[in-house]
Amino acid sequence: MSASEPISFQKYQDKKKKQEEEPINAVMVWLFCPSCKTIEYSEFTSPAGRAHKCGTQVEEAEVGIDLRAEATLTLHNLEVIEKLIKKNKKNRLFKLSIKHLYDALVMLKHSEEVYLNRLESLYNGQIPPYKGEIEDLKDKLPIKEENKLGLFISEFRFEPHLRFKS
């Protein structure tokens, strides 16, 4: 038998809780094509640089992010969008009169899902979001803006064009 300290269930729980509250740091990259004037993001850095579809060398801006915070905000945004879509489906006349709004919400939902998938590919799995209600987490999360729909824009996704000189 070893004279080591016995395993404490309380210490294990405390360690697990602390891990659930720690940020998961990563780097995402904004890409700007000076020819096409398009801005995209990537979850992969490219030290050797990269070319855009048009053949032009793109400018890159690496940004440190907290994957857990980004996932938490994205999951909240998906919930809000889903509620708006359901609200739009309930009233048939409303749905027919502004079908463009419905289509825009579906496209917005898809873009949020793609963003979450890219975050998860960077993490290599499902990202555990921060625990708690979004109202309680607002001070902890990197929220730059809340738009008119009630969606949160993180610091990473806020005005990416300002990260480039051109």
Strand, coil or helix: 43: coil
Q: Please give the helix or strand (H or E) that residue 152 lies within, else none.
A: strand 152-154
Q: What is the pLDDT of residue 101?
A: 79
Q: What is the pLDDT of residue 1?
A: 45
Give the pair of three-digit tokens for residue 86.
């359901």
What are the helix and strand counts (H, E) for the chain? 5, 5
Residue the block writes with tokens 């610091």: 155
Q: CB of 102 within 8 A of CB of 85?
A: yes
Q: Please give the helix or strand (H or E) that residue 62 lies within, else none.
A: strand 59-66
Indicate if the alpha-carbon torsion angle 72, 73, 74, 80 is positive or negative. Answer: positive
For residue 84, the tally of other CB atoms under 10 A from its CB is 19
Q: Which of the two residues, 96 and 23, has the higher pLDDT score? A: 23
Mean pLDDT for 2-28 is 76
Q: Tell me how far apart the alpha carbons of residues 60 and 50 are, in angstroms, rounded to a whole number.
A: 9
pLDDT in tens, 114-147: 999 999 999 999 999 998 898 888 888 999 999 9
Percent above pLDDT 90 for the chain: 56
Reply yes or no on whether the pLDDT at 94 is more than 70: no
pLDDT in tens, 30-75: 999 999 999 999 998 888 889 989 999 999 999 999 999 999 999 9
Q: Tell me how far apart the alpha carbons of residues 60 and 41 are, in angstroms, rounded to a whole number.
A: 9
pTM metric for this prediction: 0.82
Residue the block writes with tokens 């000076």: 34
